[in-house]
Amino acid sequence: MSDWAPVVGSLGMAVVVGTTVVLRGPVGKALADWIRGWSKNEADWMALEARKHGIAPESDAVRGDLADLQHRVAELEERLDFTERMLARSRTDKVLEPPAERK
């Protein structure tokens, strides 16, 4: 067993040093962000990503504008549905007559 002790010790040290080097780089940072994300909800995570890319997090004015736009889109969807129903009904009401024979 004493013949293997230096080999096992060297391999153990190599694993520890290699792991330290890998976790200090971008892989470690990505892993840390991933672990940090466990305790955050979706809004917190989006704000963290926005700050990371230099974008200011949402303000109350932006949230208000977003709510207004969502309301307008909902109204447009209702109007589109109504228009589609009206067009579909007008198509079924008008049945084409067979063409008149030419003399």
pLDDT digits (tens, 9 = 90+) for 54-89: 777 667 777 788 889 999 999 999 999 999 998 888
Residue 47 burial (CB < 10 Å; 0-12/13-18/19+)?
Answer: middle
Which residues have C-beta within 8 Å of that of residue 37, sequence separation ≥ 6?
45, 48
Q: In this predicted structure, what is the pLDDT of residue 76?
A: 96
- pTM tops 0.85: no
pLDDT surpassing 80 at residue 46: no
